[in-house]
């Protein structure tokens, strides 16, 4: 069957069919029973969970089984540095910080400067490292608890990662990497090796504690292939298989199938955008609106194809009543796209202001979060 979409850790192409992806990858849907189970521990559900944007998992029920038996879990997520982080990049961090808060879980956060250099996003490793250091400020700004958080750059923490990476790498053949990641003979040696590095943080808490600790990885579903490999070898190393909880890719501003891209800045809101930049991008975003105001008043608009509505859904209408009101008034024609965009822009600008303040304050707090030795 020819694929009309491709999802790998380094490329998301085509219109992603998440139902088919769950089948292809062999993950589990997050169902109502699992949501109820999470709610019993967290009191309320994070909007990204409630709205099906965290939609898939591996072994999350087992993690909760263990938790309920009194065995806490650790969290692990990460960031491939890029020159500016957009809202989509922030989602795993917002969600991981929320999990940390509700489960009092230690979070390990890997900044993969090596990966981003090997996969040609940067000409020099130093550039990748420098940008990784900058991205750390945004990660801290997502609201982590310094007492429960360890952020590290691969190149700075390699002394702790490399021995375990050897143990992982010894257990994975090129044949496996080729099948899972689509590598061929033109891939470079670092790219081929890299997945071993991304496995290691699954086990860091177990190593630190001296006994096995379940690990839950909140991440975009595109990162799942790495951890399929990790899960295959974890038990042979004496560790639990890591569990995962997957989010969908937040769409770009040019339609639900559009991508956010650092190379096309008007496709995304970056956390470093100015108020004016954000307002202009939102003004120019793709909507489900009608050709004329008259028509829209009469027929209503379509929120289900609209980037602006998606932004409310993902991040900017955390209250369900508010989101329902946006949806209803959009469909009824009471709400026009211009007004709706202006409202979203206000929310986004408020978010950016807060984030940028927290980001500034993070500059003095790096040492509370970052581990090197």
190 or 318: CB nearest a copy of itself: 190
How near is the Cβ of 332 to a copy of itself at its closest, in Å? 55
Q: In this structure, is the dihedral angle defined by the CA atoms of residues 69, 71, 89 and 165, taken in order, positive or negative?
A: negative
Distance set, CA 289 to CA 39, 115, 348 (Å) = 36, 41, 20
Contacts 24+ apart (CB under 8 A), 284-293: 284/253, 285/253, 285/254, 285/311, 285/341, 286/253, 286/254, 286/255, 286/258, 287/337, 287/340, 287/341, 288/330, 289/336, 289/337, 293/336
| Residue keyed to tokens 């961090």 | 93
Spatial contact of 74 and 121, defined as CB atoms under 8 Å apart: no
80 or 92: CB nearest a copy of itself: 80
How near is the Cβ of 127 to a copy of itself at its closest, in Å? 12
174 or 304: CB nearest a copy of itself: 174
Which residues on neighbouring strands pair with residue 86, listed in sequence order? Answer: 270
167 or 356: CB nearest a copy of itself: 167
- Closest by CA to 82, choosing from 23, 165, 139, 140, is 139
> Which residues make up the interface to a copy of itself (CB under 8 A)?
114, 117-118, 120, 125, 155-156, 158-159, 162-163, 165-175, 177-178, 183-190, 192-193, 195-196
How near is the Cβ of 168 to a copy of itself at its closest, in Å? 8
25 or 193: CB nearest a copy of itself: 193
How near is the Cβ of 176 to a copy of itself at its closest, in Å? 9
How near is the Cβ of 238 to a copy of itself at its closest, in Å? 11
């Amino acid at each position: 069957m020819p694929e009309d979409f491709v999802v790998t850790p380094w490329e998301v192409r085509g219109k992603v069919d998440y139902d088919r992806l769950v089948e292809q990858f062999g993950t589990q849907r997050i169902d109502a029973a699992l949501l109820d189970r999470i709610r019993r521990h967290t009191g309320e559900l994070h909007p990204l969970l409630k709205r099906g944007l965290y939609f898939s998992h591996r072994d999350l029920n087992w993690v909760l089984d263990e938790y309920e038996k009194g065995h806490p879990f650790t969290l692990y997520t990460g960031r491939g540095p890029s020159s500016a982080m957009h809202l989509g990049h922030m989602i795993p961090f917002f969600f991981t910080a929320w999990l940390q808060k509700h489960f009092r879980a230690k979070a390990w956060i890997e900044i993969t400067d090596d990966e981003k250099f090997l996969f040609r996003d940067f000409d020099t490793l130093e550039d990748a490292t420098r940008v990784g250091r900058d991205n750390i400020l945004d990660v801290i700004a997502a609201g982590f608890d310094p007492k429960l958080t360890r952020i590290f750059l691969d190149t700075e923490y390699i002394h702790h990662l490399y021995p375990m990476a050897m143990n992982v790498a010894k257990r994975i053949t090129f044949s496996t990497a080729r099948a899972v990641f689509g590598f061929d003979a033109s891939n470079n040696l670092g790219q081929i090796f890299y997945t071993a590095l991304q496995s290691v943080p699954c086990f860091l808490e177990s190593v630190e504690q001296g006994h096995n600790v379940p690990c839950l990885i909140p991440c975009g579903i595109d990162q799942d292939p790495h951890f399929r490999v990790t899960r295959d070898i974890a038990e042979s190393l004496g560790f639990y298989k890591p569990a995962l909880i997957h989010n969908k890719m937040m769409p770009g501003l040019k339609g639900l199938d559009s991508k956010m891209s650092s190379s096309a800045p008007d496709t995304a809101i970056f956390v470093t955008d100015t108020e004016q930049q954000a307002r202009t991008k939102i003004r120019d975003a793709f909507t489900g609106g009608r050709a004329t105001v008259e028509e829209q008043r009469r027929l209503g608009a379509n929120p289900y194809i609209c980037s602006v509505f998606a932004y409310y859904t993902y991040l900017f209408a955390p209250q369900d009543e508010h989101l329902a009101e946006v949806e209803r008034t959009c469909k009824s024609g009471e709400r026009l796209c211009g007004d709706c965009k202006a409202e979203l822009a206000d929310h986004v600008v408020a978010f950016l202001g807060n984030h940028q303040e927290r980001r500034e304050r993070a500059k003095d707090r790096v040492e509370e979060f970052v581990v090197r030795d």
